Amino acid sequence: MLAGSVFKSTAVRLAIIYIALFVIAYLVANIAAYQMVIRFLDDRLNANVMERYREITSAYEGRGLVGAVWMIESHGPAIRGQETMYTLRGPAGELVAGNAELADVPAGFSLLRPEDQHASASHYKLFRGPLGENDLTVGISYRDTDELARIVLISFGWATAIILAVGMTGAAILAYRTRKRIFVLSRTAHEIGHGELSKRLPVSSRMDEIDVLSSEVNVALARLELSVSTLKQVTTDVAHDLKTPIGRTFLVLEDAMESDGVGDMRGGIEAALVELKSIADTFDALLRIAQIEARIRTENFTVFDLKPLVTDLYEIYEAIAVEGGYELSLSIGSGACLINGDPDLIRQLLANLLTNSMRHTPDGSKIALELSRGHRTISLGVSDNGSGIPREERKRVFDRFYRLEKSRTTTGSGLGLSLVKAIAELHGANTELLDNEPGLQVVTKFREAENGNL
């Protein structure tokens, strides 16, 4: 059952407003049209009166007074109160011919009302003019004109009634359909508000304003569901992955407290500090990922050249690679590699990739750092000839705390590639994991900045 008053419905109110405005405009147009019709009928009546007057005038000019009298009497049996009225008076004012004794009629056109000098219920249009030395008055009834005006008025009234009936029926149908759609949307929103985040607002094929709004809300709901799901997963992962180091820290501290020697106690405390530092680093990485995903790390964005940054990191990690028994190479294409971003975050992204390559490949592996330009893109890649990542697990390695089974014996929190993905998305870049045959190639493609702008 639809809730709320029908008259509070926006659709009903808008329909009533539009119908009222249309009816007002229609009535104004009808009044103007009615006035034009009345004016036209009055002009036609004047023309008919003048036509009768000219007929009698022509007869008078051709045959004199006898011709004028014959013309008046030949218009049927001239009975008072019929359609046409005639009054012909002589020079002294005596009635010469006619079916009405009209007196005190002004010269030219005038109006004779029913209560004036005759028994008819109709108005008459009169014209009084000279006929030689005589005086002639001709009048024609408004009966036909009034009937036409009445028909026009009734037609306008029926048209207005039909428009109102059709408009109100359409408004009722529109209101019902709109309220039904709103009810479905409200019910779905209620379900979403009570925790069913998988629900989506219905979208029809019409793609009207409600559908466009529903589509945008659905996009927001999808992001909200993903955020909540990610939050739940992160909470679970944090509890799972930090339970072990926190438990080890407790055991180390308990052993240190129970030890008798200062050296053993100091060693236990140092081991506990290492575990606590690992925990703090994990929370710090989570905080950085959250800040980056919240888009609050864009204040330091600037257009810069990636070449000096990549060269600096290569020089730093070359010594680390040699010490660890790895072979690190650098390949940089020609021309400037300008992007719009945060240099510190890009440095962190590249450092994470290089660290991952050294951490998850055996000694003696070859690691290549590459920077090149494409069609309006800048590609930054780190590749190795290690064991790589199985194709079915490449998407999952970007999830927080996810680690391959073979990597669980190495140090790390499983947040390195999650941070890489967050930084890349903040910069509008795309990170791909590709086969290096053998090994893995991680390529991040940025949009090239032009003239200091993206």
Cα distance between residue 171 and residue 345, in whole Å? 58
Going by their DSSP bridges, the two strands 95-98 and 84-89 should be labelled as antiparallel
What is the amino acid identity at position 369? L
> For residue 243, what are its two tokens?
């339970």
Ramachandran sector of residue 204 (left: φ over 0; alpha: ψ -120 to 50; beta: rest): beta
Residue 44 CB neighbour total at 10 angstroms: 13
The predicted pLDDT at position 129 comes to: 92
The predicted pLDDT at position 252 comes to: 76
* Residue 203 maps to a domain: no
Average pLDDT, integer, range 390-415 = 61
| CATH code of the domain containing 236 | 1.10.287
Q: Do 114 and 104 form a contact (C-beta atoms < 8 A)?
A: no
Residue 29 CB neighbour total at 10 angstroms: 11
What is the amino acid identity at position 10? T
* Residue 120 maps to a domain: yes
106 DSSP 8-state letter: P
Average pLDDT, integer, range 180-191 = 84
Q: What is the pLDDT of residues 120-131, one digit of tens each?
A: 667 888 999 999
Q: What is the pLDDT of residues 3-19, one digit of tens each?
A: 555 566 676 777 778 88
Residues 45, 188: one domain? yes
- Show which of 167, 196, 225 is a domain's final residue: 196
Residues 98, 245: one domain? no
- Show which of 269, 293, 317 is a domain's final residue: 293
The predicted pLDDT at position 8 comes to: 64
* Residue 452 maps to a domain: no
The predicted pLDDT at position 81 comes to: 46
Residues 66, 121: one domain? yes
Question: In the chain, what percentage of residues exceed pLDDT 70?
Answer: 82
- Show which of 263, 293, 323 is a domain's final residue: 293
In this prediction, residue 136 has a pLDDT band, given cuts at 50, 70 and 90, of: very high
| CATH code of the domain containing 350 | 3.30.565.10
How would you class 87 by CB atoms within 10 Å of its CB: exposed for 0-12, middle for 13-18, buried for 19 or more?
buried
* Residue 454 maps to a domain: no
pLDDT of 452 strictly over 50: no
Lowest mean pLDDT segment, chosen from 9-18, 84-93, 169-178, 403-412: 403-412
Residues 113, 8: one domain? yes
The predicted pLDDT at position 1 comes to: 43
Using a cut of 0.75, tell me whether the model's pTM lies above it.
no
Q: What angle do CA 90, 94, 97 make, to 5 degrees?
A: 70
Q: What is the pLDDT of residues 343-355, one digit of tens each?
A: 888 888 888 888 8
Residues 332, 287: one domain? no
Residues 111, 257: one domain? no
What is the amino acid identity at position 119? A
* Residue 349 maps to a domain: yes
Residues 133, 228: one domain? no
- By residue range, what is the domain housing residue 234? 209-293
pLDDT of 73 strictly over 70: yes
Whole-number average pLDDT of the chain: 80
* Residue 433 maps to a domain: yes
How many domains would you assign to the chain?
3
Residues 6, 155: one domain? yes
End-to-end CA distance of the chain: 53
pLDDT of 27 strictly over 60: yes
pLDDT of 448 strictly over 80: yes
Residue 49, Cα to own-chain centre: how many angstroms?
A: 64
For residue 326, which phi and psi values (nearest 5 degrees)?
-110, 160
The predicted pLDDT at position 130 comes to: 93
Residues 414, 347: one domain? yes
Residues 267, 402: one domain? no
The predicted pLDDT at position 242 comes to: 67
* Residue 204 maps to a domain: no
Q: What is the pLDDT of residues 200-255, one digit of tens each?
A: 888 888 888 888 888 888 888 888 887 777 667 666 666 666 676 777 777 877 87
Residues 233, 314: one domain? no
The DSSP line for 203-264 is: --TT--HHHHHHHHHHHHHHHHHHHHHHHHHHHHHHHHHHHHHHHHHHHHHHHHHH-SSHHH
* Residue 364 maps to a domain: yes
In this prediction, residue 47 has a pLDDT band, given cuts at 50, 70 and 90, of: very high
Residues 264, 158: one domain? no
Q: What is the pLDDT of residues 316-361, one digit of tens each?
A: 888 888 888 888 898 888 788 899 888 888 888 888 888 888 888 8
> For residue 256, what are its two tokens?
């240190």
Cα distance between residue 417 and residue 423, in whole Å? 10
